[in-house]
Structure 1
């Protein structure tokens, strides 16, 4: 009897599991079906393939981001084309877009408002393009972005606030660019990131890289391909692993003034010079005021003496005249 009850419970449990799995599959199929009805075929750009929220325009020779993309698109694939620029609001109305692939194009410019409205985007691939510079506010609208791939471009410098407003970023890839130096605050302002790639850049292993070297040394666990991060300058350090450099290499950097130190000294010098001019002006005013007061002080008693003497003489004369009259 116990075995019968146990078998019945097992059968009922198995049937329930199968039933729940079937319900989940039906629910997923129902969602896909509703989505397919909600996206008419006219919302698929010419030359592209569209299927269930995924628009694939890979290798179609496109020169611009196509129009007529469904606002319900979740993934937009545009690799291996000839797109050279992203215009303002190139992805207008794509509020649900989560994945955008633009690798292997001819992108050299990203308009400041190119990614406006992509607050749901989580993955952005801009690798293998011709990007040399990024405006600080370019990625500000991407508040949900977790992965940003900027590898294999020609980026020479990055503004310290380039990624400041990416609170969800987890992976930042900057490999194979033309970075010689990098303000360490670029990396410090993305504390949520757990993975970086900095290899393939011709790093200048001089005193300028010291703050970045310290950051790398303290965050080795976050850096991918750390062995491939190598010096490009100076000549005696060419292709030398950056993280293999010891602290002794930077000892002279601590003994010499940096450009910031010289700037500070210069500003202090200007401040002292202006203060000295102001002090001279005030002291000259004080001297002039003192001389004027001194002059008045010397001249006033002399006038009083004349008046008093004249009055005394007049009194004496009056007395003499009075005595004669008597």
Structure 2
């Protein structure tokens, strides 16, 4: 009885240290961890103990999160909200998490991301996981706005893999100057447009594997070259075309083996005759062969121009010969046309003078009478 009374007194003094665990959750004060996993929750539970540093709310039915969802959780450093079917993240949702360093929103259905959804005080956030989280391309545009508006200059890792990005919005990462690792694998990327990788001044790792890159245009190569020299690249699993038109990419790849960590394993997907062949091996023979083909194409084009010139010259000669044979008739028609034009002009001139001189106008009127 005495121990129980002492415990109650200690709980009253410590308050949050003896806080109860939310229903359907598991709490460990020693590990500073709360887990609410697969409990069919419809919202973030209230009453989460203040000692919590690691908060796992995963595998539930939560559709929306906002600023009221995480009040009083100043000590949370790692927050996992994966696989909850979250579709909307309001502005300043995580602003109250003053110590937040890692945020996992993977495997959700984010359709609406408000402009300041990822604003965190003191720029504490270091890792953001949005793998398999974006519902459609509209949410990609929302994300671009949110990343520009939110204070994420201290973010170190960003995972956007397994999303249907197709094309990266311009300057998507322009405010993430401290980013070190960027995961863009299996994101259906077909190209790297201008300014798509702008602002990544400290990047150390970029994963572009398992996308839809058949080659990299001059614009895309400039984007990769704009990254810091120490940035390691991964390009494996893309359906590269080892055909004419990819000479610039082939030359760039041969000169970038130190940066492209999986360069030796890159394989051709097109044409069928070169499928699974090494891109580096194919690249060595690509440029000379394409030059010969281009030279043959130029010769064929020049031959076509010569033939066209001969045909046009012959048509011109025929036209001049026809004109010569009909020179008398043409001359007569020209004279007739000239006389007709002169008569019309003289009639207009006479009428103009009659209208401008009242006396001629009276003579004309009396003559008509």
TM-score (norm 2): 0.53
Please name the residue that 1:312 is paired with. none
CA RMSD in angstroms, aligned pairs only: 3.2
Give the drift of 1:86: 4.1
Q: Secondary structure at the match of 1:124?
A: strand
CA contact (8 A) 2:76 2:97 kept: no
User: Cα deviation per residue 1:96-135 (whole Å; 9 max; x = unaligned)?
Assistant: 2111001122444322322122111110001111211111
5+ unaligned residues in a row in structure 1: which ranges? Answer: 1-31, 262-326
> After the TM superposition, which of the residue ranges 116-125 and 51-60 deviates more from structure 2?
51-60
Matched, 1:129 2:166: no
User: Distance between the aligned counterparts of 1:236 and 1:143, measured in 2?
Assistant: 44
Please name the residue that 2:87 is paired with. 63
CA contact (8 A) 1:169 1:192 kept: no
Q: 1:224 aligns with which of 255, 261, 277?
A: 261
Matched, 1:173 2:217: no
Give the drift of 1:246: 4.7
Q: 2:118 aligns with which of 85, 91, 97?
A: 91
User: Distance between the aligned counterparts of 1:104 and 1:253, measured in 2?
Assistant: 40
CA contact (8 A) 1:213 1:243 kept: yes
Give the drift of 1:152: 1.0
* Moved beyond 6 Å, runs of 4+: 36-39, 41-44
Q: 1:199 aligns with which of 236, 245, 250?
A: 236
User: Distance between the aligned counterparts of 1:85 and 1:233, measured in 2?
Assistant: 39
User: Cα deviation per residue 1:221-280 (whole Å; 9 max; x = unaligned)?
Assistant: 22233343222222212222211225222213335669xx9xxxxxxxxxxxxxxxxxxx
CA contact (8 A) 1:62 1:83 kept: yes
Residues 194 and 166 of structure 1, relative CA distance in 2, 3 Å threshold: closer
Give the drift of 1:50: 9.0
Give the drift of 1:197: 0.8
CA contact (8 A) 2:85 2:109 kept: yes
Residues 189 and 235 of structure 1, relative CA distance in 2, 3 Å threshold: same
What are the residue-to-residue correspondences of 1:1-326 with 2, within 5 Å? Answer: 45=69, 52-65=76-89, 68-69=93-94, 70-72=96-98, 73-84=100-111, 86-93=113-120, 95-109=123-137, 110-111=140-141, 112-116=144-148, 117-182=151-216, 183-255=220-292
User: Distance between the aligned counterparts of 2:210 and 2:52, measured in 1?
Assistant: 42
Give the drift of 1:88: 2.7
User: Cα deviation per residue 1:8-39 (whole Å; 9 max; x = unaligned)?
Assistant: xxxxxxxxxxxxxxxxxxxxxxxx9xxx7899
Q: Secondary structure at the match of 1:208?
A: coil
User: Distance between the aligned counterparts of 1:74 and 1:251, measured in 2?
Assistant: 52
CA contact (8 A) 1:172 1:193 kept: no
5+ unaligned residues in a row in structure 2: which ranges? Answer: 1-31, 33-49, 56-65, 299-369
User: Distance between the aligned counterparts of 2:114 and 2:238, measured in 1?
Assistant: 29
User: Cα deviation per residue 1:52-90 (whole Å; 9 max; x = unaligned)?
Assistant: 322111222212336632352211111122224644333
CA contact (8 A) 1:230 1:241 kept: yes
User: Distance between the aligned counterparts of 1:107 and 1:193, measured in 2?
Assistant: 33
Please name the residue that 2:341 is paired with. none
How many matched pairs? 222
User: Distance between the aligned counterparts of 2:112 and 2:242, measured in 1?
Assistant: 34
